[in-house]
């Protein structure tokens, strides 16, 4: 977080010319109030409500049944059910797979585009377009393109000699891979954008020195570029991991969690339990566990980024 957060900068408030008078103090407090009120209303209160609901048997399919306090029953059911562990594993596979593909590919693309060529600006702009496509729409187009009997992807694959191309969304591992690839199509440009900015911030002298030493391209990547970009890569990793946990639209459109439960994530599982089967108490319990997992992963990553930022 060190490099990302304004408050963690080494310069103190006073050094930046900030001195707070009483008059200003009231202004600052007044300015902060709407934000605090909205954040309490929109994040703290719902989460409090959800923790409470997770200890009850609330089921909207039985509107007349009383909402009873059931203690840890929902959590016990969850931890004893196989499907929960399957969805947890799916979530981790999806996050890890998506982020890895995006970081590697984004880095390679950034290296490729980090040069002065005529028309390179247009190329960079065009590569930003997938980032803007509404995720639902991107997923819809991909689901049509990946259709085994009418889709253009398999048609092109047969053209290049793959006589029996796979049913992308029909089998477990391939379905998971397809979602990861569609997410990579959308978000790799974002990684590329950030890393490209980082590459362009590396002083030319470093390259000149390396050239004098006769360093090869790979040596330059390994000994100059990667160490220089390390803190930035940490930040990008953090941002992408946090977003990858949220993948929902693509699963909803491409596979609806299937085949079987092969692409059902914890978030999708909670959604199905809550809005498909109306078991709101149980769904709340699942979503609270997901919340804890996301928070733990994020805090670990934030702390790692922070300490690396300090070393860099």
Partner 1 sequence: MRSRRKRVQRVLIWAAIAIVLVLFTFPIYWLFGMSLKQNVQITAWPPQFVFKPTLENFDYVLFSSGTPYLRYLRNSLIVALATTAVTIGAGALGAYSLSRFRFRGRTLFMFWVLTARILPPVAIGIPLYLIIRNLGWLDTYVAVVMAHSAFILPMGVWIMTSFFDTIPADIEQAAKVDGASPFQAFVYIVLPVASPGIGAAAILAFIFSWNEFFYSLVLTGSTTRTMTVALAGFQGALQLEWGYMSAAAAITVLPLFAFVFLTQRLLVSGLTGGALK
**What is the footprint of partner 1 within residues 228-257 (CB under 8 A)?**
232, 235-236, 239, 242, 245-246, 248-249, 252-253, 256
Residue 57 near partner 1 by CB under 8 A: no
- Least distance (Å) between residue 135 CB and partner 1: 6
Q: Which of the residues 157 through 196 are near partner 1 (CB under 8 A)?
A: 185, 188-190, 193-194
- Least distance (Å) between residue 73 CB and partner 1: 18
Given candidates 61, 80, 82, 125, which one binds partner 1 under the rule CB under 8 A? 125
- Least distance (Å) between residue 224 CB and partner 1: 19
Taking contact as CB under 8 A, which single stretch among the options 2-10, 82-90, 207-215, 220-228 is the one that binds partner 1?
Answer: 2-10
Taking contact as CB under 8 A, which single stretch among the options 94-102, 126-134, 169-177, 208-216 is the one that binds partner 1?
Answer: 126-134
Residue 7 near partner 1 by CB under 8 A: yes
- Least distance (Å) between residue 212 CB and partner 1: 18
Given candidates 187, 264, 290, 309, which one binds partner 1 under the rule CB under 8 A? 290
Q: Which of the residues 65 through 94 are near partner 1 (CB under 8 A)?
A: none
Given candidates 72, 126, 226, 310, which one binds partner 1 under the rule CB under 8 A? 126
One-letter-per-residue 3-state SS of the chain = CCCCCHHHCCCCCHHHCCCCCHHHHHHHHHHHHHHHHHHHHHHHHHHHHHHHHHCECCCCCCCCCCCCECCCHHHHHHHHCHHHHHHHHHHHHHHHHHHHHHHHHHHHHHHHHCCCCCCHHHHHHHHHHHHHCCHHHHHHHHHHHCCCCCCHHHHHHHHCCCCCCCCCCCCHHHHHHHHHHHHHHHHHHHHHHHHHHHHHCCCHHHHHHHHHCCCCHHHHHHHHHHHHHHHHHHHHHHHHHHHHCCCCHHHHHHCCCCCCCCCCCHHHHHHHHHHHCCCHHHHHHHHHHHHHHHHHHHHHHHHHHHHHHHHC
Residue 38 near partner 1 by CB under 8 A: yes
- Least distance (Å) between residue 176 CB and partner 1: 19
């Amino acid at each position: 977080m060190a490099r990302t957060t304004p408050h963690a900068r080494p310069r103190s408030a006073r050094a930046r010319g900030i001195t707070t008078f009483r008059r200003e103090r009231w202004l600052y407090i007044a300015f902060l109030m709407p934000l605090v009120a909205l954040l309490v209303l929109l994040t703290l209160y719902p989460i409090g409500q959800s923790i409470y609901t997770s200890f009850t048997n609330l089921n909207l399919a039985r509107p007349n049944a009383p909402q009873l306090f059931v203690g840890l029953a929902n959590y016990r059911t969850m931890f004893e059910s196989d499907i929960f562990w399957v969805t947890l594993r799916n979530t981790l596979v999806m996050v890890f797979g998506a982020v890895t593909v995006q970081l590697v590919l984004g880095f390679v693309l950034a290296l490729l585009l980090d040069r002065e060529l005529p028309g390179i600006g247009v190329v960079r702009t065009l590569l930003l377009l997938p980032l803007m496509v509404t995720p639902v729409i991107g997923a819809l187009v991909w689901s049509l393109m990946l259709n085994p009997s009418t889709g253009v992807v398999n048609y092109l694959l047969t053209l290049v000699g793959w006589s029996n191309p796979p049913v992308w969304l029909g089998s477990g591992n391939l379905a998971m891979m397809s979602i990861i690839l569609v997410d990579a199509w959308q978000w790799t440009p974002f990684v590329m954008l950030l890393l490209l900015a980082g590459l362009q911030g590396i002083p030319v002298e470093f390259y000149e020195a390396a050239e004098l030493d006769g360093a090869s391209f790979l040596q330059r990547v390994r000994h100059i570029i990667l160490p220089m970009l390390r803190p930035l890569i940490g930040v990008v990793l953090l941002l992408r991991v946090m977003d990858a946990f949220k993948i929902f639209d693509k699963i909803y459109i491409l596979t609806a969690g299937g085949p079987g439960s092969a692409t059902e994530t914890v978030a999708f599982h909670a959604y199905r339990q809550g809005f498909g089967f109306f078991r709101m108490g149980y769904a709340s319990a699942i979503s609270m566990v997901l919340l804890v997992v996301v928070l733990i992963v994020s805090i670990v990553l934030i702390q790692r980024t922070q300490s690396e930022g300090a070393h860099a």
